[in-house]
Amino acid sequence: MYTASLAFRFVAMTLMLAHANWFCEKMDIPLERPITSENIKWAAPVFPGGFVGGAFTLPESHYRFGFIEGHLADFRIIGFMPDYNSEKSVFQKRVKELCLLKSQIDAQEALTLATNWLAKSGINMEKLLAESHHTVRQRSYRLPPEPGKLTPLEELKSPVFNIIWSRKDPNGNQSAEMIIDGYSKRLIYFHVGDRSLFQSLPLLIRDKERTERDYIEALENDPIVKEIEIFTNKVYDINYFTNKNIGFTEEEMKLRIEETMQRCREDADKYSYIKNLLSIPDEEFLKMDATQKSNLIKRFAPPESFPPQKKPEKAENFKEKTE
């Protein structure tokens, strides 16, 4: 596995921060100030690859943003919902606090809010509605009686609505889910499990100056390719098949090798677009000024990977952060 250098993390985070700010604007999520690299905390590292991925939290607002396969596919407000894994007293305290609030909307209004927000986030609503059916549930909690009392279970209704879209096929996999606080009419949770629903292109890091030589070097240095080259020489040696019981004919083995090589070519092609960014030493990146960092963005972050009207004007000071 390749290590994500500071330079790679900088470009990836620039894209993710731009989309996180755009997402909050579109989804009516309040922000005390714009999200920057200075006020976030890593929740997971950014790994090199064809698509930008990773996650981070915004401690001041308890927001968490998750990017999967190049899309902002997960958002939640940490600690808003009662946590079943917390201590019993903590869980019940949060349940009672939440259930004291009365919802200002009904189930239909919650569904309307959810569908409007999904559409604003760039989801293909025509595809979602055609391939999925939805359920809307207002959450309630049943609390046991206090110790020493024989009173019945106490059922408390919360102002929170769960809206889930599940595929109509036999598997019934979840396509999307949203949780809305009906008291404040705020989005609490957003998750899109079916990435084919996004109409926007995934966030990519692509080297504008990438050459065919970059691709060839990536392929030549692939460890799997090197192993295949060694094994291929054996496959062409008829004695290998007469002396080894491997369960495949020579032609079957050649076909399997070619299929594996094709996957390696595809992986090498993706890697060739980020290899020059990954090769920048961390020490060199830390010495870069704002202009040099802006040039990294121009070279490695294609315009189509930014939200509409959100092109970067200048590079921020970037510092490595850990949870």
Express each pLDDT in 276-299 by its tens digit.
999 999 999 999 999 999 999 999
The answer to whether residues 132 and 217 belong to one domain is no
Assigned token pair, 99: 């259930």
pLDDT of 246 reads: 61
**Is position 63 within any domain?**
yes
Q: Which of 144, 170, 197 is the last residue of a domain?
A: 197
Is residue 310 domain-resident? no
Rounded to an integer, what distance in angstroms lies between the CA atom of residue 289 and that of residue 156? 56
**Same-domain pairing of 33 and 166:** yes
Q: 80-94, 158-172, 201-215, 254-268: lowest mean pLDDT where? A: 254-268
pLDDT in tens, 27-50: 999 999 999 999 999 867 777 766
pLDDT of res. 45: 73
pLDDT band at 317 (very low <50, low <70, confident <90, very high): low
- Tokens standing for 193? 């499990």
50 & 134 share domain: yes
Kindly state whether residue 206 falls inside one of the protein's structural domains: no
What is the 3-state secondary structure of 64-93? EEEEECCEEEEEEECCCCCCCCCCHHHHHH
Residue 298 inside a domain? The answer is: no
Q: How far apart are CA 58 and CA 32, in angstroms?
A: 11
pLDDT at 260: 84
Average pLDDT, the chain: 86
Residues 191 and 247 both lie in one domain: no
Same domain membership, residue 176 and residue 259: no
Q: What is the dihedral of CA 197, 198, 203, 204, to 10 degrees?
A: 60
Structural domain includes residue 78: yes
Same domain (yes/no): 149, 256: no
Q: Residue 212 class from Cβ within 10 Å (0-12 exposed, 13-18 middle, 19+ buried)? A: exposed
Question: Residue 297 domain-assigned?
Answer: no
In a domain? residue 65: yes
Same-domain check for residues 164 and 261:
no
In this prediction, residue 271 carries a pLDDT of 87
- Distance of alpha carbon 92 from alpha carbon 142, whole angstroms: 10
Res. 247 pLDDT band, cuts 50 70 90 = low
Q: What residues make up the domain containing 242?
A: 213-272
Same domain? For 250 and 156 the reply is no
Please tell me the predicted confidence (pLDDT) of residue 259: 86
**43 contacts 62 by C-beta, under 8 angstroms:** no
pTM over 0.85: no
229 shares its domain with 153: no
Tally of domains in the chain: 2
Hey, CA dihedral for 238, 265, 193, 75, is it positive or negative?
Answer: positive
The residue type found at 88 is K
pLDDT at 1 over 50: no
Same domain, yes or no, for 22 and 149?
yes
Position 11, amino acid: V
Task: State the DSSP code for 170.
Answer: T
The answer, yes or no, to whether residue 148 has pLDDT greater than 70, is: no
Share of the chain above pLDDT 90, in %: 59
> Which of 142, 171, 197 is at the close of a domain?
197
Domain assignment present for residue 107? The answer is yes
Region for 95 from its dihedrals, namely left if φ exceeds 0, alpha if ψ lies in -120 to 50, beta otherwise: alpha
Same domain membership, residue 224 and residue 93: no
On whether both 25 and 61 belong to a single domain, the answer is: yes
| Last residue of one domain, picked from the residues 234, 252, 272 | 272
Q: How many Å apart are CA 7 and CA 276, to the nearest integer? A: 10
